Chains A and B, each alone.
Chain A
Amino acid sequence: MQKEGITVNEEQLLYSSSHEWVRLREDEGGKVATIGISAFAVQQLTDLVFMELPEVGRQIAAGEEFGEVESVKAVSPLYSPVDGEIIAVNSELPDRLETLGDDPYEKGWIMKVRLTDESSLARLMDYSAYQKQCSEEG
């Protein structure tokens, strides 16, 4: 089990094409995914002013919308990269949105999902593939 406080290596994360990152760990025989949004996405969204978190306990499918982040004049939906049940959300985050930019891969995590199906993992990108996508978009 990964301890909090250890610097996360973003090169070891998985990424979705809609800019969510995924960190996997084993837990009681199942997989739990911690999910956030990438530094690149936060930078593109500019000054964030609001975010909406999902409810704990909700079943979510890969590709399904689970929340929103807002800047002054844009709303960006957040899409789950995995299938499973939401077991935790970072409830302090909406009051400290700057964390998303300051520490996107550690304190800026958004939710934890206990996977019910691992097939969607195959569609995620590794760091280098994601970097390539970002350079094309940027």
Chain B
Amino acid sequence: MRNQTSMRLIFELSRSGRGSTVLPPLDVPEQHVQDLLPPDSLADAPPPLPEVAEPDVVRHFTNLSTLNMAVDTHYYPLGSCTMKYNPKRNERLSSLPGFLHLHPYQDEETLQGLLQVLFELQQTLGEIAGLPAVTLQPAAGAHGELTALMIAAAYFRDLGQQRTKVLAPDSAHGTNPASARMAGFQTVTVKSTRAGFVDVDDLRAKLDDSVAVFMITNPNTLGLFDQQMSQIADWVHERGGLIYLDGANMNAILGIARPGDFGADMMHYNPHKTFSGPHGGGGPGAGPVCVRRHLGDYLPAPVVSRHGDRFTLEKLPPKSIGRVRSFFGNVGVLLRAYCYLCTHGPDGLRRVSENAVLNANYLLSRVKHFLPVPQGDRCMHEFVASASKLKKETGVTAMDLAKRLLDYGFHAPTVYFPLTVPEAVMVEPTETESKETLDAFAETLFRITGETAELLHEAPHSTLISRPDEVQAARKPVMRWTSE
């Protein structure tokens, strides 16, 4: 039960001299610190961290946790984030001591069990993608994108081709153009049609020999599968470019269609989304990248190889782009993904996507009558409704709807993304929700659209805080606590 008595910061609980001793006494002969280190390298005092007793720490952080909505406690239909159930078995099995306490510089001979997991994960991700060469190193989706673009840069450098541009649709995640810039490319935006697909006339007008990569999210951020995909891939390939698939929406097509089969040359996964995370309040994630075999030589190292029944970590191959992260990558996240994939098998994965798409279409069929979905009657794993009409008629915005949903115990959908839909309300139900939950959500949303604008503008009403002043936070930023 939530304890509402304290919203104090841990620093405000601090009392000088309070604290917990955690270590046993020193058991080696003690020497004067001043004799061991140059006196001018030493601080006068340790950093001014809070001084609190262990029970204080427990109550403080436990109470903080109760101020969060989470998948474990609430329906969380946050579009584009795939907030599905986070299986408890994955938490337990990824935390077995034989995984948890492995040092990254141990000898391969002492790591065979782990390397087998990572090797099999590489194989599995390659099979689902239809792209056989895999790196597990990137630490997040955006990091995977960047890795793939750096692979493309190295590949074209190797071919002696000067390709300076990356094309990305206007509906793309912001990470796409930002990653392109970091990989040294210039981004050119390709328009979407009213129906939400790539405007092929615009694409063809912008496609020339200076284009290195076309980045596409398919199914796209509107939750639609772009049927022009293989035609687009042909055009890009004819001009010598590569297709990069943003795998954010893989939850819609597991075992149904493979990016490698529909034209992609490179892609990343978001295992924290598609393979059940968890999301950890914003991370850690991971961003494995799969590429066609001829691009495999450029992957960052190390990758895991099998020689007979032994697994080894391959050193840097000559064409490798190098490293994008220290050590191996976010192994803890990868172990959970492996458990998830083992739990499902080929049929199970297909059923995941079938049910994700079924749930999304069912919810769409219930919502579209009172909140228009501009891009049509069907969707894949998510859909984007628009509160535009509502706003014109009553002044109620997408944000108002989002905030009011919180009062009814639902996490809000993603709002104001993608940028191409005004007053966007992006709903991704996921497959791990029941029809009853979807019904309750649709009914609540309907009920909210009938509430007064005054009530909604000030929502939420039942939470500890409401409508924090973001202008104040940005104008005079306070980003740490100070004692005065």
On whether A and B touch (CB less than 8 Å), the answer reads yes
**A residues engaging B (CB < 8 A)?**
47, 49-50, 70, 72-73, 97
Q: A70 CA to B416 CA in the complex, in Å?
A: 18
Interface presence of B474 (CB below 8 A): yes
Closest Cβ of chain B to A30, distance in Å, is 37
Residues from chain A with Cβ under 8 Å of B471 in the complex: 47, 49, 72
Q: With A47-B471, A50-B474, A50-B475 given, name 9 new contacts (CB 8 A).
A: A49-B471, A49-B474, A49-B475, A70-B474, A72-B470, A72-B471, A72-B474, A73-B416, A97-B475
Contacting residues, chain A, for B475 (C-beta < 8 A): 49-50, 97
Interface of B is mostly: helix
Measured in the bound complex, the distance between the Cα atoms of B174 and A73 in whole Å is 13
On chain B, the residues within 8 Å of A73 by CB distance are: 416
Q: How far is the CB of A47 from chain B (nearest CB, A)?
A: 4
**Which chain B residues numbered 437 to 484 have a C-beta less than 8 Å away from chain A?**
470-471, 474-475
Q: Cα distance A72–B470 when bound, in Å?
A: 7
Q: Which residues of A contact B416 (CB under 8 A)?
A: 73
Query: Complex: how many Å from CA A47 to CA B86?
Result: 39
Q: Which residue of A lies closest to B416 (CB)?
A: A73
User: What residues of B have a CB within 8 angstroms of the CB of A50 in the complex?
Assistant: 474-475
Using an 8 Å CB-CB cutoff, how does the interface string of B331-344 with A read, 1 for contact, 0 for none? 00000000000000
Mark out the residues of chain B between 400 and 454 whose CB falls within 8 Å of any chain A CB in the assembled complex. Answer: 416
Kindly list the 8 A-B residue pairs having the minimum CB-CB distance in the complex, ordered from nearest: A49-B474, A47-B471, A49-B475, A72-B470, A72-B474, A72-B471, A49-B471, A50-B474
What residues of chain A lie closer than 8 Å to B474, measured between beta carbons?
49-50, 70, 72
- Nearest B residue (CB) for A70: B474
**11 contacts across the A-B interface (CB closer than 8 A):** A47-B471, A49-B471, A49-B474, A49-B475, A50-B475, A70-B474, A72-B470, A72-B471, A72-B474, A73-B416, A97-B475
A1 to B389 Cα, complex, angstroms? 52
Q: How far is the CB of A11 from chain B (nearest CB, A)?
A: 32
Question: Contacts of B470 on A, CB cut-off 8 Å?
Answer: 72
In the assembled complex, the Cα of A47 lies from the Cα of B475 at a distance in Å of: 10
Task: Point out which of B470, B471, B475 has the most chain A C-beta atoms below 10 A from its C-beta.
Answer: B475
Report how far A49 CA is from B471 CA in the complex, Å.
6
